[in-house]
Amino acid sequence: MHRRLLFLLPLVACILAACSGAGSKGDDVVFSAFRPVDPEGWRYTDTLVFPLAEMADTVAVRGDLAVTVRHSNDYAYSNIWLQVLTPEGPKSVCVELADVFGRWYGRGMGLTFERTDTVLRGLTLTPADTLRIHHNMRLDTLGSVEQLGIFFLRR
């Protein structure tokens, strides 16, 4: 009986720690925001602006940038190329939206799908900074993209 108790005690402690939310990633989000995209189409010249003035920290933070793309089932491509204008300069990033068979990676409800991917790592941002994003596809107007969101996560 005593040996069983010695075996179960660490197991119960691990389960309690997991249930308590210790190590939760929710506390690591320094900034998040979504911007709508024109329903008529996202023109190459239309830049989505994300001022970081409402950032949770008041000093420079080093972290990773994740992008969320909300698109309809009618989106014609398996990925989306984005140009992210950061204080360190422009960065081209790609978010994969579908596999080679055309199945969406993101979760969907109805005809809308949402895919989140970490696109930049080790970025240093302050509340005085602004991120700007535009699509970098090989056409002027990109259809079926509904919203674009960003999450800046402390590293």
Query: Hey, which residues does 51 pair with through a beta bridge?
Result: 130
8 assigned to some structural domain: no
pLDDT tens profile 117-146: 999 999 999 999 999 999 999 999 999 999
Q: Select from 96, 150, 94 the least CA-distant residue to 123.
A: 150
Contact (Cβ atoms closer than 8 angstroms) between residue 119 and residue 63: no
Amino acid letter for position 106: G
Of the pLDDT bands very low, low, confident and very high (cuts 50, 70, 90), residue 6 is very low
Q: State the CATH number of the domain containing residue 45.
A: 2.60.120
70 assigned to some structural domain: yes
Is a pLDDT exceeding 80 seen at residue 17?
Answer: no
pLDDT tens profile 57-102: 889 999 999 999 999 999 999 999 999 999 999 999 999 999 999 9
Q: Are strands 89-96 and 42-43 parallel, antiparallel or unpaired?
A: unpaired
φ, ψ (nearest 5 deg) of residue 32: -150, 145
Query: What's the DSSP call for residue 41?
Result: -
Q: Which domain holds residue 37?
A: 25-154
Q: Select from 52, 135, 146 the least CA-distant residue to 108.
A: 146
Contact (Cβ atoms closer than 8 angstroms) between residue 60 and residue 124: yes
Query: What's the DSSP call for residue 97?
Result: -
60 assigned to some structural domain: yes
Q: How far is CA 86 from the centre of its chain?
A: 15
Give the number of domains in the chain.
Answer: 1
Is a pLDDT exceeding 50 seen at residue 33?
Answer: yes
98 assigned to some structural domain: yes
88 assigned to some structural domain: yes
11 assigned to some structural domain: no
54 assigned to some structural domain: yes
pTM across the whole model: 0.80
Is a pLDDT exceeding 80 seen at residue 1?
Answer: no
pLDDT mean over 28-51: 97
111 assigned to some structural domain: yes
What pLDDT score does 57 carry? 81
In SS3 terms, 138-153 reads as CCCEECCEEEEEEEEE
